Amino acid sequence: MAWLNGWVFLILAGLCEVLYASIIPRTEGFTRLWPSIYCGFFLALSIYLLSLAVRELPLGLAYAVWVGIGTLGTVAYGAMFMGEQLGVMRGLCLAMIIGGIVGLKLVSGEQVA
């Protein structure tokens, strides 16, 4: 069941990545104190949780999933709250990211007990 903890840590790390990335515009180049502190806190927490995840999961897989969650979550945040457009081509690119992550998982050789 140790692999389950790895996945829990990894998903939480990815969510923290979305939280820090989504606040970056509000830091105004890290010149605003509270948004910068928020960003730094979730950045550090995200990396810490990723470090816990790689105790149980292969590094390449964990990193790809972490970045994928961050990418997908940040794109979704931008579309929902910042007026960014999510067209067909962007959707296709996001689907390719998901496909790549799933492919890495399938070929990682990770044993689920």
Q: pLDDT tens for residues 23-64?
A: 999 999 999 999 999 999 999 999 999 999 999 999 989 999
- The Cα 62–Cα 37 span in angstroms is 26
Reported pTM? 0.85
Q: What pLDDT, in 10s, does the model give residues 56-109?
A: 999 989 999 999 999 999 999 999 999 999 899 999 999 999 998 888 888 876
Contact 53, 62 (CB under 8 A): yes
